[in-house]
Structure 1
Amino acid sequence: MYLNCHSYYSLRYGTIKPERLLAIASENGIQTLALTDINNTSACLDFVRLSNNYKIKPVLGIDFRNRAKQQFILIAKNNNGFYNINQYLSAFLHNPDLEIPEQAPQLEDTFVVYPYIHNKTYTLKTNEFLGIKPQDLNHLKFSKWNAFRSKLVVLQTVSFENKKGFNTHRLLRAIDNNTLLSKLPKTEQGDPTDRLLPYNELCNSYQEFPELLENTSSLLEDCTINFDFSQEVPNNQRSYTNNELLDFKLLKRLTYQGLHYRYKKPGERIFKRIEKELEIIKEKGFVSYFLINWKILKYARSKGYFYVGRGSGANSIIAYLLRITDVDPVELDLYFERFINLYRKNPPDFDLDFSWRDRDDITQFIFSRFKNTALIAVYNTFKFRASVRELGKVFGLPKAEMDVLTRGKYNINQLDALSQLVIKYSTYIQGFPNYLGIHAGGIIISEKPIHYYTATFMPPKGFATTQFDMVVAEDIGLYKFDILSQRGLGKIKEAVNIIRYNHPEKAPIDIHDIKRFKQDENIKNLLRHAKAIGCFYVESPAMRMLLKKLQVDTYLGLVAASSVIRPGVSKSGMMREYILRYRYPERRKEAHPVLLKIMPETYGVMVYQEDVIKVAHYFGGLTLGEADMLRRGMSGKFRSREEFLKVKQQFFDNCKKEGKPYELTEDIWRQIESFAGYAFAKGHSASYAVESYQSLFLKAYYPLEYMVATINNFGGFYRTELYVHEARMHGGVIEAPCVNESFNETIIKGKTIYLGFMFLHAFESKTVKRLLQERKKNGPFKSLDDFIDRVPISIEQISILIKINAFRFTEVNKRELLWEAYLKISKTVIQEHVTDLFKTERVNYKTPELPSTTLEHAFDEIELLGFSLCSPFHLIENHVRNPLRAAQFAKFKDKIITIEGYLVTTKTTVTSNGKYMYFGTFLDRDGDFIDTVHFPPIATKFPFRGHGIYSITGKVLEEFDCITIEVITMYKLAVVEDPRYSDTIKHLTA
């Protein structure tokens, strides 16, 4: 009897979770239920999947509305009808300016239900009906439609479960309308009676109109929707060539063609591995998946795009030979079953990383090359703090009160009634979907049209996007292609180009010659001493310290380190154990014999995701299929599903049956559980290590060029300032932007680095464009007057250039230049210059001599670049003559020292008892790193107070050749007074 039910995917309107909707219906004796969310299909597939658990027949449709005003409901007779409805809705979601009309379209295999409005004229087609709400029944008795009961159906809308649900609905509507709850119009909210009633109670409401009950029942009986959730056959594009037999032949041919590129003398082991993989790929129906990835990357190579293929797919030799990945699974002995096995239903996982500059073109290629393509959505949910702010506004709370609530520093019993309501309902709506976003890189390429499964919306990127997320996509057998972007690849690509122009005499660099890089002594030296600032994945303070502790200087060592650093390994306490066993071979004897036999390479310590599968299989007695399900459960994909708990129980039961001590089983399980989706697949780590080696090579041989590329790609782990500092440490001469030398991006000439105009705060791109075009056309600028004559510019924009000393070639003091600029440039709207027949001679005003100081330059640089180009230690108010440097710390082991450090970055962590502690990274006066530890009592008493120079007192500690300072006291040092405003301040305070 229910044709119009909303879940909380009726965004900012409905308040019932889809599964709860089914549960309520089951409790109330409902056997058929139509889910018709408002302009949304996010819950549809999950609703169908879950309905069988509640013995409810699912029906799908969409409630078409303009804001809260209901126009009509479209209900699908079958899958074709659902496809037609999705296609119709998508037209509006792709163009938000379109309003949904009052008249429904004529769509095949659909029913239309219009909400009954008294005295309104309706002309109904065969498949169209009027929906009569219980409150409409009295009107109906006196309406002409009373004589046409065959066209009437029951319309009991369901949007909330109870009074609390209705109150929540009103709050969501107020948030959506950005209004106070007291001012929310009735037209923007539902009726308090819009809830699910017991079947008999609903029927009793319509007892005088039995025909309506019969019509509704008949309509629902005519509807059948079916989706296959067995995942036996993927629903991705089935064939690359439109012929599955030809697909396999092509895959096999490409595989063997790639042999000579990868191996000089392939042996029997290689050929056996190829045949084994080809057989399983064919049997599981993943041939087209490989070929589509191959095609995407073939296009990328044709465009000269750098990429990294990683994920579990890196365990495949077929992927290696097709150049999807650069990881040799034979060399690394990668566990093939992590990648794909006969028990695993989902396909391999390829994460394809591109430069952030190239990714959009790759996405465009995929959409143009493959027919049924869409991005995958993510559900952006209400977070508690954001909800507090939103509901605080709805209730009209002052900002100060909202700040108290969001910080969580309150006693709930001491809050006033409104504040208590804000907290109560913020907790309730936490986790509700708020709006749809785009998955970081997931794309689906389907055999059937995308609208067979979902409607699509059009985000600003301009690519159609599903209304469901990746978990629902996998449920229905649609497996994503991950097209991701990262700045590391942009840095590598740009560095190669910079080297080409700054060192034209050098031979072209083969950045893909990884085998040579692995043997390079200079790279090994950088790794051993963790001199890897700017290098992909190995530059963070934590990774820098781990490299030192492990004394890594090999590719395999770096592969292990890339995974050991992950929270799953470190959280379990196994990172420290791995370091001990790595450095001290005698510690390896302490490993459990079974675990040591399973994982000899990592000394019995779980480091990779494959290790979870190995331990679950060999130690816990699980089948490969169960072990992989356990691994997926740990990754969070099935964390809430029953099958994960069943597999966990099976693990314990098997160990008990084999007589393993419960304490040991529990300890092994704890180690497995601590991975919780954080550990990498070994192939994934190996892929990262390849990119690390590429960046390490560039850093070892072309540090300045590589730092310029890093700066232009907006750095990595650190702020731009540190990469400028690193360039200076390698002999670079850093110059502020110059109107005659600089470009939008940073450039290098020999060893001189000119920072780009794009780093100047508030400097407009259109001004940069004019400046560069004019300079290219008519040559360098000779003076400020020459610049003003040739480049249309406002006083605000030229002031930025003068303050950053971009006219220093004139050798005129910048204060004098500012005076000149203010006298010669009007504050009118800037227009493009029109070439004059006769050049107007400018009046040269006599300006007073106004010298500026080095300190003024530094403060201008801080204002415009975010950092000064001089040493920050020059800006301390009281100069400290402390001779101690970080390089001398080894002499002071276990002693208390005091040193000054410039703060680079901090990391926060929570202790086991829930208190905050910190790790700090500073630079000393020589530019070397100081690493600090701040335990909770000290962190509370001596907090960080933003960037600047701190006086640090603490104990020098050494562990595994890594030196840190355990902080005892820490104070931020005062900087000198800003000389640009000192005269003004003195005048005002006189």
Structure 2
Amino acid sequence: MYLNCKTYFSYRYGTFTTEELVKAGAAIGAEALALTNINCTADAWDFYEFCIQQGIRPVLGAEVRNEDTFCYLLLAKNLDGFAAINRFLSEHLQTKAPFPQRPRLKAEHVRIIYGMETAAPGALRPGDLDEHELIGVRPSEVNKLYGKNTTGGKFVIRNPVSFQAPPADDNSRDRNQKNESYRLHRLLRAIDKNTLLTRQQPEDIAAADEFFHTQEQLTAVFAHHPTLITRTKEVMDTCDLSLDFSTDKTLQTYTGSKKEDRKLLRQKALEGFRYRYEARADALERVEKELGIIDQMGFNAFFLITWDVIRYAQSRGFYYVGRGSGANSIVAYCLQITDVDPMELNLYFERFLNPKRSSPPDFDIDFSWKDRDEVMQYVFTKYGSERVALLGMFSTFQRNATIRELGKVCGLPKPEIDALVDSPKAPLKEDRYQRGIQHYSERMINFPNHGSVHPGGMLISEKPMYTYTVVELPPKGLPAAQIDLFLAEKINLFKLDLLSQRGLGHIKDCIELVRQNKGVSIDIHDVETFKHDPLVAARIRKADSIGCFYIESPGMRQLLQKLRCDDYLTLVAASSIIRPGVAQSGMMRQYIHRFHHPAAIEYLHPKLEELLKETFGVMVYQEDVIKVAHYFAGLDLGEADVLRRAMSGKYRGNDRFRAIRDRFFEGCKAKGYEEALSAEVWRQMESFAGFSFSKAHSASFAVESYQSLYLKTYYPMEFMVAVINNFGGFYRTEVYFHELKGTGATVLPPCVNEGSYETSIKGSTVITGFNHVQGLEEKLVKTLLAERAHNGIFTDVGDLVDRVAITPEQMNLLIRIGALRFTGKRKKELLWEATFLYKKKQRQPAGVALFREQPARWQLPDLAEHPLDDAYDEMELLGFPLTNVWALADVDLEAFKTTSDLPACLGQTVTMIGYLVITKQARTQKGESMMFGTFFDKRGDWVDTVHFPASLARFPFQGNGFYVFTGKVIEEFGVYSVDVNAMRKQGLKGRSIL
């Protein structure tokens, strides 16, 4: 009966979650349900599984629409039919071609059901339809069957289900209109149409009766047309689709033969073993063990595909980092997928892959943001567009955005919407709209809003991707599946993560700049040398890490100093305990305390001391959770890994999670532990596991950090230029220019004759890139640079005007930023000269002059220049001054303490002036807002501040600039900061000051 059901994956239309729809169908005794979301099959396999659990036959399909116009339903008779539907939808969604009036799909695979209007004059008549084509009649349309021959086999019942039914005890006449779920549907439709609810058109929304009618109700409505009831059941019975979720759906072979895959992987792993280790018995033993498990679990092709991607990247000179749990594998290390030695760190291969692990493994490979897209395109080309797709994901409605959307469609003024967003617990006025918005926003939270693309996941399937999902073409231009990570995992379709990060861009570009500027070639993979370099160690110890991947934030810099970090293993640990949840749970502070006082550690149990001595009794890594579950509580490695995943949130509240929790306590009891001990160990595991990295992941981050640190130590100017050119890092661009000036580089503004689009370096002279000048057109800059390369440098303003089509406004920008300083003239003189040239040009007749006229000469009056003119121009056009920023501070700098004074002033109240770098908001245990600040002091050193709620409320931050603050000097584990009790923003000197 129910062959037209939708969930909230009919975006901004349906109001059922997938599970709710199936349970609602079960509640009214449905024997079969058809999922037909609008142009979408995103939750098909979740629906399939929920139906099986409820004893309902699942039917998969789609409701096809052109905009808001219903075209037809497509129902899959089998798995081939579902693939055909997915292919059909994909082709039209990708090309944006309208769906045809009549689809050409094979009768043996797909049922096509048109609307009742198909039987109207001028449209398709029942006699025109093929065997697999039918006409669906809604309950409200039963009167239209009067006088029609309904025994001919073409009419079926179509009871659209888009939202929940009204309460059963509501017998009022307008019960459908009063239905809360119907109102939610109308709100969703108004958001979709970006229209006021009061201006909604009938064609924009569903009919008010699009909910589950009981079989008794449908039988009564169609009592005079019993053949429709019979035929509808027959149609559902002919749709029989099944999929074995447990089988691997990923591409099964790399070479075309599983036997050859096994041989090739072994060959490449042993070649890599000789490169990595030369000869080492314990390492070779582990290689052999891993190869056995990889082959046993059928992942030879998975490793070879990843190796193939890495091989391509190497052939193109692309820099990459393999990280994540894949770095636990010595085979991955030998294949150069990762640069983390699992033997050095005693990494568990079982964290990545073990015979009892139920979830698929995956590799995380980072590329430079400039290279990643080409690598992805290689995968599509190598393995075929039919089998490859980017992994999908879904953007969901969240509280603030939802309130704003609902406020707009209800016609609330912006101030009222802002009040609702800013004060969720504030008492509301007696206003039904405001109360309704609060109510419906809660219902809409986590509803899918639209499809999106996973940051880097790629799927490579054995069968065509259409077997499982629709494939769309998002703006990025590469095909993307409609299924997300969780659904892909559910059906055993494994992903390969090809991610991008700007930290790799820093490294790659720095290596090239060093080669160009100093003629030095760097082996950036010589990480072992970097780890033992004393100058690199000293830089970590000082936390002089601005621009370095993952270790430049104020919090991380403080942590490095508190741990006196100067070695690889400590940096690996720091990369995990800096995670937000760890700090909030107090585990980070506990780790630091134990680091400084190892002799005072009291372990809960000798077994825990044995397992966690390396990390001072704290579970720093996800592997620690697995070790404790396995060796302390007796869970097998598969169960321990499921427990680790459950604690990270994937299975929380799941029956499977609860069962393994019970197994943990049963195992503890069997080993004779006291109940209080078991409960405390569980509490520590649960509080930490959701926020930790795998040790291999942290190690991968630490390797990249060392590479950045080495470059910053030995080639600081080139390194900071590379950071600037990649626009990536924790801080705004100004901070990296500050660091660059601190290396001794001479930093100059852009230059028409010597500059480039990006920032460039020659010797120790750096010329700021034109790409930093706000308002300057990229097209103009590239034209200018091409003309310079072709015909030589420019001689003066007139030469530039003659050779490049440049507007007066763009010329003014170039002059004000100092890009024409090669003329030897002052800015104001150049502005006058340019103005004269443009006026003269306007008076000239059309045509190209054969000879260039000599520039006119005239005498200008003495135009006053002020010391801060350049700084103010740079602040306006770059967003920050290239000159000394402290020259702008309108205050006597000698009156203030500096960062170097803080140790001698511990416990005392000091007054400092700082240039704001960044702030971080936090909340106290009472939920009150507080802030952490980071500043440059007058010498350019860094100083950190704490602003507790009372102080912050009286002395809030007011944007970037100078601040004078007073507070008590505090210290924690050797790191000094200022607890601010008063603060004011300091003004700038005016241009009129000489």
TM-score range normalised by the length of the shorter chain: over 0.9
Deviation string, structure 1 residues 858-904 (Cα, Å, up to 9, x no partner): 11111111111223322223334324211121111111111001110
Confirm whether residue 237 of structure 1 aligns to residue 251 of structure 2: yes
1:605-652 alpha-carbon deviations (Å, 9 max, x no partner): 100110011111222332211110011112232234321122123223
Q: Provide the residue aligned with 1:171 in structure 2.
A: 187
Partners of 1:911 and 1:370 lie apart in 2 by: 52
**Residues 536-551 of structure 1 mapped to structure 2, 5 A cutoff:** 536-551=549-564
CA offsets 1:165-222 (integer angstroms, 9 cap, x no match)? 1111111111111111111111111100010112221222111111001111001000
Cα distance between partner residues in 2 of 1:297 and 1:383 = 38
One-letter code aligned to 2:476: K
Segments of 5+ residues of structure 2 without an aligned counterpart are 166-178
In the aligned structure 2, how far is the partner of 1:599 from the partner of 1:655? Answer: 18
- From 432, 445, 454, the counterpart of 2:447: 432
* 1:101 corresponding residue in structure 2: 100
* Equivalent in the alignment of 1:900: 913
CA contact (8 A) 2:622 2:689 kept: no
SS of 2:343's equivalent?
Answer: coil
Question: Which residue among 496, 499, 502 is the counterpart of 1:484?
Answer: 499
Which residue of the partner structure matches residue 119 of structure 1?
A: 120
C-alpha contact 1:919 1:932 (8 A) present in aligned 2: yes
Find the counterpart in structure 1 of residue 110 from structure 2: 110
Matches within 5 A, 1:412-811: 412-504=427-519, 506=520, 508-590=521-603, 592-811=605-824
Structure 1 position 276, deviation (Å): 0.7
Matches within 5 A, 1:299-310: 299-310=312-323
Query: Does the alignment pair 1:138 with 2:143?
Result: yes
Partner of 2:298: 285
1:939 aligns with 2:955: no
Partners of 1:166 and 1:899 lie apart in 2 by 61
Q: CA separation in 2, counterparts of 1:421 and 1:927? A: 53
Aligned equivalent of 1:258? 272
Partner Cα distance (2:356, 2:970) in 1: 50
Q: CA distance change for structure 1 residues 204 and 845 in 2, over 3 Å: closer, same or farther? A: farther
- Provide the secondary structure at the position in 1 that maps to 2:285: helix
CA offset digits 1:433-488 (Å, max 9, x no partner):
11011001000000111000011110011111111110000000011100000011
3-state secondary structure, aligned to 2:590: helix
The answer as to whether partners of 2:94 and 2:473 remain within 8 angstroms in 1 is yes
- Of 318-327 and 769-778, more deviation after overlay is shown by 769-778
CA contact (8 A) 2:390 2:479 kept: yes
Question: Is contact 1:85–1:107 with CA below 8 Å preserved after alignment?
Answer: no
How far 1:112 sits from its partner (Å)?
0.5
SS in 1 for 2:33: strand
- 1:381 to 2:384 alignment: no
Q: Which moved more, 1:716-725 or 1:421-430?
A: 421-430
Deviation at 1:931, TM superposition (A): 0.8
Deviation at 1:843, TM superposition (A): 4.7
**1:988: which partner in 2?**
none
Matched, 1:203 2:223: no
1 CA distance for matches of 2:101 and 2:673?
Answer: 69
Aligned counterparts of 2:395 and 2:54: Cα–Cα separation in 1: 28
Change (3 A) 1:665 1:263: same
Please report how far the alpha carbon of residue 663 of structure 1 lies from its aligned counterpart in structure 2 after TM superposition. 3.2
Within the candidate set 902, 917, 926, 1:913 is matched to 926
Aligned to 1:294: 307
CA distance in 2, matches of 1:691, 1:410: 45
**1:695-723 deviation per Cα after TM superposition (whole angstroms, max 9, x unaligned):** 11101101001000010011311111111
Alignment of 1:310-325 (within 5 A): 310-325=323-338
Amino acid at match of 1:150: G
Find the aligned partners of 1:409 and 1:150 in 2 and give their Cα distance: 56
Q: Which residue of 1 is the match for residue 196 of structure 2?
A: 180
For 1:732 and 1:320, the matched residues in 2 are separated by 39
Match among 936, 951, 956 for residue 923 of structure 1: 936
Contact kept? 1:59, 1:225, Cα under 8 Å: yes
State the shift of 1:906 in Å.
Answer: 1.1
- Answer yes or no: is 1:192 the counterpart of 2:197: no
Q: Residues 565 and 571 of structure 2 are in contact (CA less than 8 Å); yes or no, is this contact kept in structure 1?
A: yes
Pick from 965, 968, 973: which aligns with 1:955?
Answer: 968
Partner of 2:374: helix, strand, or coil? helix
Report deviation, 1:384.
1.3
1:411: Cα distance to partner?
3.3
- Among 403, 411, 416, the residue aligned to 1:401: 416
Residue in structure 2 matched with residue 31 of structure 1 by the alignment: 31
Deviates more, 1:933-942 or 1:760-769: 933-942
1:841 Cα deviation (Å)? Answer: 5.3
| Aligned partner of residue 150 in structure 1, secondary structure | coil
SS at match of 1:599: helix
Shift in Å at residue 59 of structure 1? 0.2
Check the 8 A contact 1:129/1:151 in 2, yes or no.
Answer: yes
In 2: Cα distance, 1:838 partner to 1:910 partner: 71
Q: Which moved more, 1:415-424 or 1:586-595?
A: 586-595
Match of 2:7, SS state, is coil
Matches of 1:837 and 1:783 in 2, distance apart? 19
Partner Cα distance (1:409, 1:198) in 2? 39
Q: Given the superposition, is the C-alpha separation of residues 270 and 111 from structure 1 closer, same or farther in structure 2, using an over 3 Å criterion?
A: same
Aligned to 1:249: 263
For the Cα contact (< 8 Å) 2:84–2:105, is it kept in 1?
no
In 2, the alpha carbon distance for the partners of 1:694 and 1:199 equals 68
Alignment partners' CA distance in 2, 1:61 and 1:801: 60
C-alpha contact (below 8 Å) 2:744/2:764 kept by paired residues: yes
Compared CA separation, residues 55 and 306, structure 1 to 2 (3 A): same
Provide the alpha-carbon RMSD of the alignment.
1.9
Would the alpha carbon gap of residues 155 and 584 (structure 1) be closer, same or farther in structure 2, given more than 3 Å must change?
same
Which residue identity does 1:610 align to in structure 2?
E
Deviations 1:137-163 (A, max 9, x none): 112113xx4255411000110001031
Structure 1 unmatched ranges of 5 or more:
983-990
Which amino acid in 2 is paired with 1:429? Answer: M
Distance 1:795 1:823 in 2: 11
1:155 counterpart (155, 158, 162): 158
Cα distance between partner residues in 2 of 1:393 and 1:539 = 41
The aligned residue for residue 391 of structure 1 is 406
| 1:340 matched to 2:324 | no
Distance 1:218 1:879 in 2: 90
Matched, 1:86 2:86: yes
Q: Percent of aligned pairs with the same residue?
A: 45
